[in-house]
Amino acid sequence: MTGKLLLLVEDEVLIAESLQDALVEAGFDVELASNGTDATNVLESNAMQIGALVTDIRLPFGGPDGFDLAHFARELSPSIAVIYMSGDSAVEWASKGVPKSVMLAKPFAIAQLVTAVSHLLNDAETQLG
């Protein structure tokens, strides 16, 4: 398993903390952002260190949504793994999501997230290595 940094973007505090705890417990380093603007700033300053973007699709404060973030992340780092989370936007994934991404419909088991991140990071490492 890689030690790369994950960027977790979730605006609901309790969900964000729960997901962050689970990912850290699974051995990942996690940077947390609560909106698209903050996430964009993290991506701009750490793009080469971030191995995966785990993002909610609907984000507050009028900034970029999860689809926009994923496209921006892939511009900066084409191999970044992308996992989308959504309670209501899963149907848009086929048309708006980036290739080779995963969609987790809320509610989902935290183990599903850990598995998705692990698989995508392993696939990326296999393609690079």
Q: What is the CATH number of the domain that holds 119?
A: 3.40.50.2300
What is the tally of structural domains in the chain?
A: 1
Write down the pLDDT at residue 68. 97
Which alpha helices (DSSP H) does 26-109 contain, by range? 36-46, 66-76, 93-96
Which of the four pLDDT bands, split at 50, 70 and 90, describes residue 128? low
Tell me the one-letter amino acid at 24: V
- Range of the structural domain that residue 58 is part of: 5-128
| Higher pLDDT, residue 3 or 26 | 26
Instruction: Please enumerate in sequence order all residues whose Cβ is within 8 A of that of 73, keeping only pairs 6 or more positions apart, or say none.
Output: 7, 43, 47, 50, 53, 80, 82
Residue indicated by tokens 């936007």: 89
Do residues 25 and 1 touch, judged by C-beta distance below 8 A? no
DSSP state of 29: E
pLDDT at 110 over 60: yes
**Section 46-62 average pLDDT:** 92
**Section 101-129 average pLDDT:** 87
